[in-house]
């Protein structure tokens, strides 16, 4: 099993960046950075007009980077898993290769790629600017990254199987990603959200992870009541069990080509 995942990991890594690796590297780094700089410009203009106050010790750039890059990792794990079956149907002719191996390999690839992007970006920003890029609680921030990887895998497992069985989900996924992007407070601070609306957003388990990440990244980050990692843990375990149940009963169908 480990040898299969190891081989698939490097195969997926090569496929991930394509034949033109330099262009692939630029795209992977450029997509989140473009959003960060665009939103940073907008927020800067808004601050000048409204005199919006940001708590001490919180850089707007770091606030955006600590939300966008981890969320992109979660999103890409989900999307890559959903396309994993159709992209590797030819490999399933070999008995040692199973769809679950592809799911694990793609999860590892995306998590490694975006984690290294985050680390490299922090090193560069810290080297060339006076911004404090070090997290206040390193281990807790790392745990939140692992939570997002686990969340992407659990949701991706369910969605990839359903996507293989229900074609209409392919057109729905982009909208799901947009909703989660907005509902998870990726690019805006949760403390500006009215209490009534925030109570609704708390039903989104990924909001809890993003907020916990930022509360441990910034020393003076305003904490909101109701944030906990227990809720997303329970949701992910349920999704994992449901996904594994679907996988067990549909594993033969997943490995076969659609006519």
**Between residues 62 and 37, which one has the greater pLDDT?**
62
Range from 113-122, 195-204, 246-255 that averages highest in pLDDT = 195-204
Indicate the length of the chain as a whole number.
Answer: 259
pLDDT tens-digit map of 48-87: 555 555 677 788 888 888 998 999 999 999 989 988 888 8
**Residues with Cβ within 8 Å of residue 71, at least 6 apart in sequence:** 148, 180, 181, 184, 186, 206, 210
Q: What is the 3-state secondary structure (H, E, C) of 189-231?
A: CHHHCCHHHHHHHCCCHHHHHHHHHHHHHCCCCCCCCCCCCHH
The mean pLDDT of the chain is: 85
**Between residues 31 and 2, which one has the greater pLDDT?**
2
Residue 25 has pLDDT above 50, yes or no: yes
Q: What is the 3-state secondary structure (H, E, C) of 49-69?
A: HHCCCCCCCCCHHHHHHHHHH
Contact (Cβ atoms closer than 8 angstroms) between residue 169 and residue 241 = no
pLDDT tens-digit map of 92-118: 878 888 889 999 999 999 999 899 889
pLDDT score at 149: 97
DSSP per-residue string spanning 134-147: S-SSHHHHHHHHHH
pLDDT tens-digit map of 162-181: 887 777 777 777 788 889 99
pLDDT score at 257: 52
Q: Provide the sign of the torsion angle of the four alpha carbons 111, 147, 221, 184, taken in this order.
A: positive
Query: In the chain, where are the structural domains located?
Result: 2-255
Give CB contacts under 8 A, 24+ apart, made by 220-225: 220/55, 220/56, 220/57, 220/58, 221/55, 221/58, 222/55, 222/189, 222/190, 222/191, 224/190, 224/191, 224/198
């Amino acid at each position: 099993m480990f040898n299969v995942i190891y081989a698939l990991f490097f195969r997926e890594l090569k496929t991930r960046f394509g034949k033109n690796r330099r262009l692939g590297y630029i795209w992977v780094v450029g997509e989140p950075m473009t959003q960060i700089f665009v939103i940073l410009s907008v927020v800067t203009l808004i601050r000048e007009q409204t005199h919006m106050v940001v708590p001490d010790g919180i850089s707007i750039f770091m606030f955006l980077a600590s939300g966008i890059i981890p969320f992109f990792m979660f999103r890409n794990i989900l999307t890559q898993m959903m396309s994993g079956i159709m992209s590797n149907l030819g490999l399933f002719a070999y008995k040692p290769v199973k769809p679950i191996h592809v799911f694990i390999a793609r999860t590892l690839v995306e998590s490694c790629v975006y984690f290294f992007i985050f680390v490299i970006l922090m090193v560069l920003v810290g080297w060339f600017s006076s911004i404090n890029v070090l997290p206040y609680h390193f281990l807790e921030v790392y745990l939140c990254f692992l939570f997002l990887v686990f969340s992407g895998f659990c949701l991706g497992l369910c969605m990839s199987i359903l996507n293989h069985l229900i074609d209409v989900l392919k057109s729905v996924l982009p909208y799901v990603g947009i909703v989660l992007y907005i509902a998870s407070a990726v690019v805006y601070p949760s403390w500006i959200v009215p209490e009534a609306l925030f109570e609704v957003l708390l039903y989104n388990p990924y909001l809890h992870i993003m907020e916990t990440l930022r509360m441990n990244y910034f020393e003076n980050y305003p904490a909101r009541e109701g944030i906990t990692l227990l809720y997303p843990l329970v949701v992910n375990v349920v999704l994992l069990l449901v996904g594994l149940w679907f996988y067990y009963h549909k594993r033969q169908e997943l490995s076969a080509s659609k006519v």
